[in-house]
Structure 1
Amino acid sequence: MQVSFIRSPQCASLKEEEREMSRKRVLVVGGTGYLGQYLLHDFSEIQGTTPCDLAFTYHSNPPPKPLLDAIPQSLPFFVDLRSGHGFDAISQTFGQPHVVVNCAALSVPRACEMDPTAAMSINVPSALVKWLSSFTDCNILLIHLSTDQVYEGTKSFYKEEDEAVPVNVYGKSKIAAEQFILANCSNFAILRSSIIFGPQTISPVLKSLPIQWMDSVLAKGDRIEFFHDEFRCPVYVKDVVTTVRILTNRWISEGKQMQLLLNVGGPDRVSRVQMAEAVALVRGYKTSLVKPVSASSVDRGVKSPADISMDITKLVQTLDISPTTFRDGVRLTLASESSS
């Protein structure tokens, strides 16, 4: 005798409810920025393996149509980080997030120097943390983007445990943000990022991207000045995305609280001269177009640390990743620009 099993509507609705309960909610604060757009695209592409509901915040300008078209399942929210206006709307419409990635910042050092009050009120996420703590179950993972400019710049390859002595307002606002998170959060990862570079975003950002700018000025065939005595560990944007993804997946799958501070840079310590020379070599320009000058020869209206290269051993060992070399990142960036 053949027996057939028919799933009842009640059973189906329970299964659907379980599926919905298993979905995780991810909020990207500053989703219209350079890194924010990359993160939104990445989270939207993993729906098949790790389903999640996605939302993001914006402030200065409404979300551009190309971005909304590329991630139609995400919810945009206007938020003022200084006042906290807009967070209640997220609570009501989106609900409590499981993971929040904070990319929002006043990140132009000169702008921070000109308006220290704005730098502190935007870069120290007091309104964001207050909102997160308002939930009954406030066990939310906060992934916060910091900067290599928290270091003083008097030596090479800073480690996370080295003293942070920022020399400008931007760095001071970011170390203040780190200290605020340490004092007020129990589940977090702070990522001290170096210069982030890579291909242009879905909706092009207004700020000048470093590799694209170097390519554009060298393409003119004129000799251009670059600093030979400022050193950084530029990081390929998709390596930062991978870092955020791994941390998110660990929290979602394991549910273990973390309190991490990681240097997030590339494997190469390079000057602006070496960065420009890499672009020239990949493009086939003459490296003689790159004219080395001292950073002290230019008044940028803000003090800039000389050498804030970072030791990324902890990043590599903790997350088991191999960040892209600078030369390979330049190749990938310029190849993407050529094909777009």
Structure 2
Amino acid sequence: MSKRRVLIVGGTGYLGQHILQSFANNPDTISTVSLAFTHHSVPPPQPLLNAVPHALPFRVDLRTGDGLDAVSLAFGQPDVVINCAALSVPRVCEMDQEAAMSINVPTALVEWLSSFRESNTLLIHLSTDQVYEGTKSFYKEVDETVPVNVYGKSKVEAENYISTNYQNFAILRSSIIYGPQTISPVPKSLPIQWMDSVLAKGEAINFFYDEFRCPVFVKDLVAVIQILTNQWISEGKQMQLLLNVGGPDRVSRVQMAEAVAHVRGYNTSLIKPVSASSVDRGVKSPSDISMDISKMLQKTGFSATPYREGVRLTLEASS
């Protein structure tokens, strides 16, 4: 049986590297899956290339689709495409709406997938909890999407574009992703590592007590992606799936920091609760976008890592 082809779009980012590593290190997939990834930076980092030596790198510009033809020629039609590429910093999206829309709405990618004679590739697309308005707790997938910022709007636009123009997809609305650093460290600050570094200094620091999310451990998100990939490869049943992918705990930034302090043994009195409304971040932020993840658990048969356990695993990995 020929190997199945899996393409990770945005393979040099935080989630992309974790997915690449999980496929490359999994004995079940090494012999059955051919891997490729796209990157926008030139060239991809050497530590990543060393860690996933069999994965083919391709430089692709998602705005124009430039580079996708090279993927067709050298790699062929993928069986699964996992799209992690995004402009995901809300403040940056607010400042450059055009870039947010052109990068986050994958028109060129969907057109490319539709150009194959049998356009039956499974597209797994990463969306966000920021599609929700943030006025209640535990949003379900059927709830109305009323994003309050450009980032959320670009992601709703992407969901609508995919579901209207493509037949075989799984859209994953991810919460804050946390976990160990990647093989090639990403430039953006990681939430748990940042909290650890500021609390380690022993200085008091402000955290919001009135913004709630369901942070998801990166290895859980990767596991969900692998389960969906395996389902498609083994069963070949077309999907049109929308899933909230969060952790099992609804936490504020104060509670997130307290878990770090408990695991590390820091003094929790350093954590000063303040209201999110007291800080101007240059972008509107939804206050409670905690998610109901029961559909994800039912579809995947997977059990999500409790937040404090995920924090412990993250900090152990970085010690």
1:265 equivalenced with 2:246 (yes/no) = yes
Which structure has the bigger radius of gyration? 1
Q: Which runs of 5+ in 1 are unaligned?
A: 1-18
Q: Which runs of 5+ in 2 are unaligned?
A: none
Partner of residue 43, structure 1 = 23
Aligned residues: 318
Q: Are the structure 2 counterparts of residues 211 and 61 from structure 1 closer, same or farther at C-alpha, using a change threshold of 3 Å?
A: farther
1:171 equivalenced with 2:152 (yes/no) = yes
1:225 equivalenced with 2:173 (yes/no) = no
Whether the 8 Å contact between 2:210 and 2:276 is mirrored in structure 1 is yes
1:249-278 CA distance string (max 9 Å, x none):
000000100110000000000000000000
Among candidates 189, 197, 201, match of residue 170 of structure 2: 189
Q: Tell me the amino acid that sits aligned with residue 109 of structure 2.
A: L
1:30 equivalenced with 2:14 (yes/no) = no
1:246 equivalenced with 2:230 (yes/no) = no
1:236 equivalenced with 2:214 (yes/no) = no
**Cα separation, 1, equivalents of 2:91 and 2:293:** 27
Secondary structure at the counterpart of residue 185 of structure 2: coil
1:115-148 CA distance string (max 9 Å, x none):
0000000000000000000100110100000000
Secondary structure at the counterpart of residue 97 of structure 1: coil
Partner of residue 264, structure 2 = 283
Whether the 8 Å contact between 2:78 and 2:121 is mirrored in structure 1 is yes
Shift of 1:61: 3.9
Secondary structure at the counterpart of residue 125 of structure 2: strand
Partner of residue 282, structure 2 = 301
Shift of 1:45: 1.9
**Cα separation, 1, equivalents of 2:139 and 2:55:** 37
Whether the 8 Å contact between 2:202 and 2:270 is mirrored in structure 1 is yes
1:315 equivalenced with 2:296 (yes/no) = yes
Shift of 1:334: 0.3
1:62-120 CA distance string (max 9 Å, x none):
21000000000000000000011000000000000000000000000000000000000
Counterparts in 2 of 1:1-340, with a 5 A limit? Answer: 19=1, 22-49=2-29, 51-338=32-319
Secondary structure at the counterpart of residue 54 of structure 2: coil
**What TM-score does the superposition give when structure 1 sets the normalisation length?**
0.93
Q: Tell me the amino acid that sits aligned with residue 217 of structure 2.
A: Y
- Overall identity of the aligned pairs, in %: 74
**Cα separation, 1, equivalents of 2:27 and 2:106:** 29
**Cα separation, 2, equivalents of 1:60 and 1:123:** 17
Shift of 1:48: 4.1
Secondary structure at the counterpart of residue 145 of structure 1: strand
Deviation above 3 Å: which 4+ runs of structure 1? 47-50
Shift of 1:47: 4.8
Q: Tell me the amino acid that sits aligned with residue 330 of structure 1.
A: V
